[in-house]
Amino acid sequence: MIDRVQLREIDWVLIGLLLLNAVIGIVLIYSSAHYLAGNFYLRQLLWLLVSLVILFLTLTVDYKGLLGFSPYVYGLFIAVLAGMLVFGKAVSGAKSWVLRLSVFGGQPSELAKIALILLLARIFSEYRRKSLGLEFGILSVGVTVLPFVVIGLQPDLGTAVSLLPILFGALILCGLTRKTVVLLLVGTLVLGFTGWTFVLKDYQKKRLITLVNPNKDPRGTGYHVLQSKIAIGSGGLTGKGYTKGTQSQLKFLPARHTDFIGSVLGEEFGFLGIFAVFLSYFFFLARLFTSVPLSRDRAGMYIIFMVACLLTFQFLVNVMMIVGLFPVTGVPIPLLSYGGSSLLTTFLAVGLVLNVKMRRCVNA
Amino acid sequence: MDSPIYEDLTSPLKRARFVFIAVAVLFAAVLFFYWKIQILDYGKYWAASESNRTREVVIPAPRAILTDRGGAVILANNIGAFKVSLIRENTRNLEESLARISPLLGLDVAVLRQRIDKYKTLPLFRPIVIKDDLSLKEEVSRIEARRMDFPELVIETEPKRYYPFFSLAAHALGYLQELTPEDLRSAAFKDRKVGDMAGKTGIEGAYESRLAGVDGKLVEIVDSLGRKRDELDRVEPRQNAKLALTLDFDLQAKAEELLAGKEGAIVALDARTGGVLAMASFPTYDPNKFVNRFTPEEWVDLVKNPDNPLINRALQGQYSPGSIFKPVMAIGALDLGLITEQTTFFCSGTAMFYNRPFHCWFEPGHASLNLPEAIRQSCNIYFYNVGMRMKIDDIARYAEAFGLGQKTSVDIAGEKPGLVPSTEWKRKTQGEVWYPGETISVAIGQGPLQVTPIQIAAMTAQIANRGTRLQPHLILDDDAKTIAAATRSSIPSETIEKVIEGMWRSANMEGTGRGAKVEGFDVCSKTGSTQTIGRETSERLGIKKKTHSWFTGFAPRNNPQIIVTVLIEFGGMGGEAAAPVAGKLFKLFKDKYDRPSPAPGN
């Protein structure tokens, strides 16, 4: 279990930054959804407390133990997701039945990120060569593509795309040769082409096209980006005031409490609010990045870096998406956007980082 | 597991640090972009968010109320109605949208598309009315309940024109129709908007700008579904003051009651002012049917109806005057000194003129008669002889002096001018000279001569007023103006008095107009029966078609108060069909208005 040294090594600053950003999220969720039935901010608060408890519970288990379980956990998630896909299509009731099986009725695809992080950390924990070899390259890409495909087909493009920074984080740490980079680029192009032609749904393609010219289709997907830009731009320096944003309160913004929570922030708190939240989020991510060397082993280093890459990717993609710098992919901001599974996943990910850091001084 | 403590992790950590620096740079870049749209482009986005949340709604002004001359009976007012419009800007795909709306409104997609297409040249944000006169309980609540599914639809209320007495005075009041895109582009309607209704005919059309009022405006805060959240500014619509017509409700109702089931027209004028007391035309229609924008079936029915209910026969029906033209002939001949009131002709029932036999309507013949008697009995032979003495151009001059052959310029549009033949007219239209034989027919009001009932009413008013001509009109406030603008011809009133003597006898001494006699009201009248096809044609084809039946007259003889002109198509003899109808109207008027004045000195 936990001894005194480990307890002393718990990174309270990281926990503080985690909670700070989660609370900012609840404040924004209140403003964006207080007029809707469902008390979203209270539900998010409840999820926050539950997630915090689960986080502390996971700290009692050594991450090395978790790595040992990781293939089974990973396998289970693939099975559940594939089951949702198969039964969900065959019988409409089956999907909800499988959904009820999954944790808290939330989205199992979110938690699949944790499973992938653990599996990749295990794969690379004993890898000591200077750069990535072919067999490890294929293996790591393979274990990522599998959940990517089953989640992408749900269809949940946002969550599927969020698996990629985990893989790239691992590959970067491992060391990429020029040959591998070229190989990856070619692979991405081929995958992208086949994906565009055979896999992507029309609405997903539309989203990508919309990125190029949001004014072209003002009532379609581009409409959302346009409304979001209007919300943020009209916030000006100081914003329209808390719960006073006309774009969000009058519902011109879509998915205000989830994907477009940043637009509510920009509209109601202005550039100063954006700056402050960017800063607090940057401190949070910086704390993760600076924790990378504070691991006793290779696996821990991979875990911390992959978590940092995942959360950074999601934040940047979202804040770029809502101003039209990135396609609307449905990637929420961890901690800020409403969503229980997303919050829990983020807490579990940060929990892994804490887990690694508190055990760095222990001699095995 | 082996202990990894002494492993060299320098290069992976270097790469991790590099990624962190890249992330920091990316943060700064994205923040810079936010600074650009929030600080540099702030004005642009602020304006966009303002126009996003406010909407200007037009509050249509109710049209001015129309009343009868008493002011108490409302002939046209407004009731609240609901309409639903489509805003194309709010649709993703118009076709898909129409397919969803079709079952909601119970309209075919093709019909919906047709309505949209009608206005496709208009900007996308302008709502296009796709259905109006919705029922509150069923349609409005059904649409409102599915508000979320149909962001492209807006329900608005509007005051709708309502004619409480349905077809009463329909032709005088006129009807409304939706403005066409062409109308909207014209200067006259530049302030109007899509879906607005405007008067097309009758008083509604003639006084459109006076009746329309000024629309109000509402600036409201709306959410993304177009639902109203708050009000920012409001300008109330302005309804113009009610407009009193010269129509007398009781006379109008009675006139229509008397015409019901027949085809024809009745015009009653106030003899002292020229105001139209009644104007009826049958068959008729219900103008309420036009107030809805979409009633194509009913519209087509009315237009295609062989009886032409939309035609205002009082103004647009052109008929041979027949014998009711005889007073003008008599006045002309007297004025020219061609006859005196004592000039006598002999009627044997038939007479030869220019080697052709001409018949009197009374086959046994009237024997010897003078002018008043000739008018009383409407003797054709007498007037053939008068026609023998008069030139056609003189007849035309007197006919025109009494307003024939030209529009009376009553307020309502669409009036026909009729026709007064002359040598000039024949040369111009047929390139031929006028044969004196043709004058004989014109002398009894046949031949090419054509008149409208309102012309005859105005002519009769001029006779009743002993030569003073009053402009027929429909707006009560124009009475004084009309009296001030009254004109007189050079014909002495004594000349006209001689003809009036004959007209008085017609009604009161068992003449052709006896059916119009009202005890104590001194009716003066002239009847007419006009062949609808020539006598030869009818004999050749063996058809005996009834004649059009005319009556025109005034009462009382001295200080006349009312003119009544009746035309019944295919009614038969004027004295039999038209005169009794007029008699009932004279009676009603006398009972209503002609009460003995209270004894002076009280």
pLDDT tens for residues B126-183? 788 888 888 877 888 888 888 778 878 888 888 999 999 999 999 999 999 888 888 8
Strand partners of residue B346: B368
pLDDT given at position B601 = 42
Query: Predicted ipTM?
Result: 0.89
Residue A256 is given by DSSP the state T
Alpha helix locations (H) across B285-391?
288-291, 296-304, 313-316, 326-335, 371-377, 380-389
CA distance A288 to A15: 11
DSSP B597: P
Residue from B479, B460, B417, B487 nearest B565 by CA: B460
Q: Note the Cα A11 to chain centre separation in Å.
A: 21
pLDDT of residue B535: 60
The 10 Å Cβ neighbour count of residue A285 is 22
Q: Calculate how close chain B gets to A81, using CA atoms only, in Å.
A: 32
**B337 backbone φψ class: left, alpha, beta (φ>0; ψ -120 to 50):** left
Which residues of chain A make contact with B26, given a CB cutoff of 8 A?
316
pLDDT at A220 over 60: no
Contact assignment for A309 to B19 by CB distance below 8 Å: yes
Domain boundaries, chain B: 55-244, 249-285+311-593
CB B198 within 8 A of CB B176: yes
**CA pair distance A106, B585, nearest whole angstrom:** 87
Q: Where are the domains positioned within chain A?
A: 20-358
B536-581 pLDDT, tens digit per residue, is 666 666 666 778 999 999 999 999 999 999 999 998 888 889 999 9
Spatial separation of the C-alpha atoms in residues B1 and A75, rounded to whole Å: 23
Please give the DSSP secondary-structure letter assigned to residue A288.
H
Question: Is B102 noted as a catalytic residue in this protein?
Answer: no
Domain range B249-285+311-593, CATH architecture? 3-Layer(aba) Sandwich (3.40)
Q: Pairing relation of β-strands B243-244 and B66-67?
A: parallel
Pick the CATH number of B55-244 from 3.90.1310.10, 1.20.1270.10, 3.40.50.300, 3.40.50.2000: 3.90.1310.10
Q: How many CA atoms lie within 13 A of B593 on its CB side?
A: 18
Question: Any idea which of A128-142, A164-178, A280-294, B368-382 has the lowest mean pLDDT?
Answer: A128-142
CA of B254 to nearest chain A CA: how many angstroms apart? 60
**pLDDT at B329 exceeding the cut of 90:** yes
Which SS3 state, helix, strand or coil, does residue B130 take? strand
Q: How far apart are CA A130 and CA A183, in angstroms?
A: 18
Which residues does A190 contact at the CB level (< 8 Å), separation at least 6? none
Helix, strand, coil share of chain A (percent; to 5): 75, 0, 25
What is the average pLDDT value for chain A, to the nearest integer?
A: 84
Q: How far is B225 from B147, CA to CA, in rounded Å?
A: 8
Calpha distance A346→A54 (Å, rounded) = 12
Are B573 and B549 in contact by the 8 Å Cβ rule? The answer is: yes
Q: Do B12 and A173 touch (CB under 8 A)?
A: yes
Of A27, A76, A116, the C-alpha closest to A336 is A27
Q: Kindly report the nearest CA distance between residue B18 and chain A, in angstroms.
A: 10
Chain B contact for A264 (CB, 8 A cutoff): no
Structure tokens at B307: 């009886």
pTM of the model: 0.67
Tell me whether residues A364 and B1 touch, CB distance under 8 A. yes
The per-residue pLDDT for B8 is: 67
Nearest CA to B51 out of B125, B161, B112, B152 is that of: B125
Which residue of B3, B15, B225 is in closest CB contact with A173?
B15
CA dihedral A123, A313, A155, A202 (to 10 degrees): -130
Asked whether the beta carbons of residue A220 and residue B92 sit closer than 8 angstroms, the reply is yes
Measure the CA angle with vertex B249, ends B248 and B253; round to 5°: 120
Give the pLDDT confidence of B246-268 residue by residue, as tens digits.
999 999 999 999 999 999 999 99
